[in-house]
Structure 1
Amino acid sequence: MRELDLKGLKCPLPALKLRRALRRLPAGEALMVLCTDPLAQIDIPNAVRESGDLLLSQGERDGAFVFVVERRAGVTAA
């Protein structure tokens, strides 16, 4: 699983960088996203929903918010 470390970035940058990363991710692959901005708890799930991809999990680890996103086949990230 690939990892996208966005710790230290303030929203909306994590959501924008996630969208860019999803465009390059092959369908069916998962991406672990790490963020420290509390607003990411809202922005990341919204970005995933808008892109048509799948949020597999959301939680916290070592002071960071962790999201696991799967790229869906046949979707175009916004």
Structure 2
Amino acid sequence: MTDETQTLDALGLLCPLPVLKARKRLKSMAPGAVLRLLADDPAAVVDVPHFCAEAGHALIGQEDAVDHQIYLIRRAE
């Protein structure tokens, strides 16, 4: 496990781009690293948890900011 955290700004991108970009970034990260995904696509509320469940990554946090959502995704081991 690592304490590495990266941020991916997917603001302004529509489905399925936030999830596709998250998948690509997670592949390049160490197992256990955390990706902080910023998204304002309304579909991300459904897409991101579904992606994490399908890919085996852990959705460890989800919060609403003023005009977007922030997802914390721990890469599968």
TM-score, scaled relative to structure 1: 0.89
Question: 1:35 matched to which residue of 2?
Answer: 39
Say if 2:46 is the partner of 1:46: no
2:75 to 66, 71, 75: 71
Question: 1:17 matched to which residue of 2?
Answer: 21
CA RMSD of aligned residues (A): 0.8
Runs of 4 or more consecutive aligned structure 1 residues displaced over 6 Å after TM superposition: none
**Secondary structure of 1:4's match?**
strand
Listed one character per residue, the Cα deviations across residues 2-49 of structure 1 (whole Å, up to 9, x for unaligned) are: 100000000011111111111111011101000001100000111111
CA distance in 1 between partners of 2:43 and 2:24 (Å): 19
Q: How many residues align?
A: 73
1:2 to 2, 6, 13: 6
Stretches of structure 1 that go unaligned for 5 or more consecutive residues are: 74-78
CA distance in 2 between partners of 1:43 and 1:8 (Å): 15
Stretches of structure 2 that go unaligned for 5 or more consecutive residues are: none
CA distance in 2 between partners of 1:70 and 1:8 (Å): 23
